[in-house]
Structure 1
Amino acid sequence: MRKILLALIGLSMFAGLLAGCGGGQQTSAAPGVSAPQQTKAAQQAEEKAPAATNDVKSLLAKTKDIKTLSFTMVTLVDGKEIGKAKMWQKEPKFKMEFTDGAEKGIMLMDQAQKVAYMYLPSENMAMKIDMTQAESKAKKSPLEYDDELTDDSKYKVLGDETIRGEDCKVIEVQEKDGTAKLWLSKKSGLPLRAEAKSATETSTVDFLDYKTDNIADSEFELPSGVQVMDMNQITAGMPKGQ
């Protein structure tokens, strides 16, 4: 699945990963531990590392045959919920439904056509948006986090945790502006939670209610009779700033 979904929420995570520290650097032995002992301990750690790496890759492999996916996404900043949305994806099309108070909004996206529609059912109106520029800034869908985990040097496995009663493998990635963590379900290989920490805040996305049932193509289409406004034409007619 391609980069579209989380840009709409504004969560910046698992982008700009840093490569791991280069090898070949010598370190002094810890107090009370001889150099041979330290070398042996390092060798044992290296022997365990491939097992953890293979475990992660085997989890990611479970998602490869998923063609359609629907789920609920809840975004929190410092523990406070700031957004909740229902998602549908059937590459190259995506749909996001969200509410702002009593107002419901629906975003329909077609990656192949590089176009999106922001649809307001209460107004029977939609705004057409050119996604050519936005696509390069878009973040991850649940099926795309494996893009960041293909290089073993760019992440480490922290261990196992349980999220909402489901066993997960916890992975940490060091980013330019902080650390990011991902909780992969051992059952499905899909992320149940993603977290990004910066110097000022912690952003979390919980992925709930996954379904892989087939999704009708009509789910990604505007209803007939909706008035469509082209945002490119509207902005082209606006006076340019001095």
Structure 2
Amino acid sequence: MKNVSVSVVIICKNSAQTIGKAVKSCQPLTDDIIVVDSGSTDGTLNIVRSHNAVLIETPWLGYGDTKNLGNKQAKYDWILSLDSDEYIDNTLIESLKQTDLSDPTVIYTIKRISYLGDKAVKHGEWGRGVIRRVFNSRKACWDNSPVHEEIRCEGETREIQLKGAIHHFTSPDIHTYRSKLDRYARLSAEKYAGKKKPSHLFKRFFSPVFNFVQNYIFRAGFLDGKTGLDIARAHAWYTRRKYELLRSYNSGN
């Protein structure tokens, strides 16, 4: 079957271990794969060029604005947005090939399967992953939130879930993941501080406990064994860290 009128936009920095697989997975889908790089020094650029993707080099603009820069250079209005540590499977490719992309008000959602090392995590926080990733750039773009950016839409839209999945190699191990969460905690705290959000004692002490119980018990993280426990603990730590940093920022420290 011929390629689909969808442009793939991938943002990256120092992603030599994963960017090749990300780009290669999209080649059966489209002839327009755009990689937006923000200062890689590890061989990422050579890998992108070797896969004949369109390469855009830019200083880091923030998650949303960096993605939007790639969208503006896209050949097609329809965008599939990926991170450099993700790849798409054949079922998703076939689903997109069979999808009628005539309605620009539709946002397509996709199941995301996340991995810690080589283990797929099916429960807890990571097991909930259905994400909005295919949209028409004439109707939608990414917001400029410093973390956990979202698609911002013009007018009314509706969502349709595609078959298949995006596979996300989140981190090689729990220690690397905690380092990533620390960065996200800082960005989230800065975001909340900018909005004058308070850090109440209740939030600092009880939100982490609730987060752990929610992910490990109610969302069945325990079914993923030690990996599920490690992830639930990491997210509880992230929640507390976020509110501790917010308290520090609000006090001017």
TM range (shorter): under 0.3
Could you state the TM-score of these two structures normalised by the residue count of structure 2? 0.22
Q: Pick the structure with more helix per residue.
A: 2
Q: Highest relative contact order (Cα 8 Å, sep 6+), 1 or 2?
A: 1
Higher Cα radius of gyration:
1
Could you state the TM-score of these two structures normalised by the residue count of structure 1? 0.23
Q: Pick the structure with more strand per residue.
A: 1
